[in-house]
């Protein structure tokens, strides 16, 4: 069974890139446009969440906190997408329970390497 990855980003092009890259590598990718949308999609089994931090409605940090507080999915790996200017946000995300991070911009190989690191 293909592992399921949820990509959460308000940018359609980032979602698309993540989706194409990971789908090519054999993962099943589902998309969410913000944290709130992501929570609704987490009711189905998901193996990994890749989330942006800046999003409307519910941002990445809020999403991480809610996932970690939910017994049904609290142990799943969460990777956040950060930018080099967001060092404090990164620390905030780590404190909230993020598994890892990728600094934007990133190349497809970096994405695959990080996904492999936390998902096997």
Partner 1 sequence: MIDKYKQAFQEEARELLVELESALLELDQKRDDREVVGRAFRALHTIKGSGAMFGFDDVAGFAHNLETAFDRLRNGQIAATADLINLTLAAGDQIKTMLDEAAGRGNVDHLRSASILAELQELTGLSDTRPDAAHLSPAAPGAPGVAAHDWDIHFRPGPAVLLNGINPLLLLRELRELGRLQIDLDTSAIPPLGSIDAEHCYLAWNMVLTTTVEPEAIRDVFIFVEDDCELSIERAPDQAASAPDAPLAMVVAVNPPALTAAKPKLRDAAGPVSQGAASSIRVSTEKLDQLVNLVGELVTVQARLSEVAGRRDDVDILDISEAVDRLTAALRENSMSIRMLPLKTTFERFRRLVHDLSADLHKEVDFTIEGADTELDKTVIDRLNDPLVHLIRNSMDHGIETPEARRTAGKPPIATIHLSARHAGANVLIRVSDDGRGLDVEAVRARAIEQGLIDPATRLSEAEIFSLILAPGFSTAREVTDVSGRGVGMDVVRRSIEALRGSIDIASKPGEGLTVTLRLPLTLAIIDGLLVRVGEAHFILPLANSLECVELTRQDILDAHGKHIANVRGEIIPYIRLSEYFQMGPSRPEREQIMVVETEHGHYGFVVDQVLGDHQTVIKNLGRLYRNVQVVSGATILGNGSVALILDPHRLVQNVVQSGSQNKRSDGRNARHNNSVDRHESARSNLSVPKGQE
Query: Which residue ranges make up the site for partner 1 (CB under 8 A)?
Result: 10-14, 16-17, 20, 54-56, 68, 74-78, 81, 83-85, 94, 97-101, 104-107, 109-110, 116-120
The structure tokens listed for 6 are 């949820």
CB atoms within 10 A of CB 24: 11
Minimum Å distance from CB 31 to partner 1? 13
- Shortest Å distance, C-beta 99 to partner 1: 4
**Least distance from partner 1 to the Cβ atom of residue 105, Å:** 4
φ, ψ of residue 5 in degrees (nearest 5): -120, 135
């Amino acid at each position: 069974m293909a592992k399921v990855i949820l990509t959460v980003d308000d940018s359609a092009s980032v979602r698309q890139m993540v989706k194409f890259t990971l789908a090519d590598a054999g993962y099943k990718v589902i998309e969410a446009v913000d944290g709130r949308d992501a929570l609704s999609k987490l009711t189905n089994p998901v193996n990994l969440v890749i989330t942006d931090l800046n999003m409307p409605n519910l941002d990445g940090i809020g999403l991480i906190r809610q996932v970690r507080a939910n017994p049904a999915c609290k142990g799943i790996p969460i990777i956040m997408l950060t930018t080099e200017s967001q060092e404090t946000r990164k620390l905030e995300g780590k404190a909230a329970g993020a598994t890892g991070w990728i600094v934007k911009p990133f190349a497809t190989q970096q994405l695959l390497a990080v996904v492999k690191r936390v998902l096997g």
